[in-house]
Amino acid sequence: MTAVTAGDTRELVLVRDLTRTRIVQYAGASGDFNPVHTDERFAVEAAGYPSVFAHGMLTMGMAGRVLTDWFGPESLLRYEARFRAQVFPGATLTARARVESVHGDGTAAVALTVTDGQDAVVMTGNAVVRASAEAK
Amino acid sequence: MAVERFPVEGGHIMMFARAVGDPHPAYHGAITGTPAIAPPTFVWAADHYDPDSAVRPKPDEPWPGSGATHSGAPPADGAGLGLHAEQRYEYHRPVREGDVLSAVDRPGRTWRKEGRRGGALTFTEKITEYRDQEGEPVVTATMVTVTTSTTVGAGG
């Protein structure tokens, strides 16, 4: 629960030099072992990608931290993501969150952007959070 | 996906939080001996409790990943085709250790768009309702996948 006003921002580095092992760790935790994420040989030779790539949900999961660190782990009412580009091993991801509006009921709308090391946008998102103790 | 029983366990929450790189103590109750809160995207892990999940290797069933050759079995019909374009969660309450969730899917909207590099993109929504053991709604999830005529492989 944090008092915020529109325009407030937070930034968080989600991962530096994303490794294949890290993607496999997420596969194990999430139960999504799709070989495009877990099997370099399949991803390149069978599926035609430059390498394995991260689950979009790994990026969304990592980016959720910028919200929960800010507002608390039980503060989210909505969390939405659009996956704009694939995230490949070696990526360094940074999440930027910005309060778009604060509402009379104590909730706030937050916009999210996740970029890789070259400032390419890989995910955009929106959230509605309880921004004050009065929020229902 | 149809999941009858998804027990939310502290150890699973801890492993999921590690995988998304989040050290918040609320997610690590398995170590500190306190009931854990689940991270916002934790219900994605319900696949572990789907007996028919197409994204998990199963004993004695073909799997598309590499073994002796670069590719194993072709994916089952409809399994994992398309890229994950969007994901939305609406939280009716936080997910906590001790919850026993169920998940039921229903189809959402379908729409088409011209791709930037030509070819039609088809977007398909799937809505999943997660409920607790009392039948109360906990999370409503909407997954949007996109398929193109040129998509090879799967998953985003």
Contact call for A61 and B41, based on CB within 8 A:
yes
> What pLDDT does B155 receive?
46
State how far the Cα of A73 lies from the Cα of A69, in Å rounded to an integer: 7
Q: Give A34's contacts in chain B (Cβ within 8 Å).
A: 55, 80, 154-155
> What pLDDT does A25 receive?
98
Size of interface A-B (CB pairs under 8 A): 156
What SS3 string covers chain B? CEEEEEECCHHHHHHHHHHCCCCCHHHCHHHHCCCCECCCCHHHHHHHHCCCCCCCCCCCCCCCCCCCCCCCCCCCCCCCCEEEEEEEEEECCCCECCCEEEEEEEEEEEEEEECCCCCEEEEEEEEEEEECCCCCEEEEEEEEEEECCCCCCECC
Contact call for A46 and B64, based on CB within 8 A:
yes
A38 close contact with B: CB closer than 8 A: yes
Higher pLDDT: A134 or A56? It is: A56
Task: Kindly provide the ipTM of the predicted complex, given to two decimals.
Answer: 0.95
State how far the Cα of A33 lies from the Cα of B81, in Å rounded to an integer: 14
- Listed residue (B102, B136, B105, B129) closest to B7, CA to CA: B102
At B41-69, the pLDDT tens digits run 999 999 999 999 999 999 989 999 999 99
CATH of B2-56+75-147, picked from 1.10.10.10, 3.20.20.10, 3.30.2130.30, 3.10.129.10, is 3.10.129.10
> What pLDDT does B119 receive?
81
Q: Which domains does chain A have, with CATH numbers?
A: 9-18+54-130 (3.10.129.10)
Contact call for B66 and A35, based on CB within 8 A:
yes
At B75-98, the pLDDT tens digits run 654 444 679 999 999 999 999 999
Higher pLDDT: B120 or B44? It is: B44
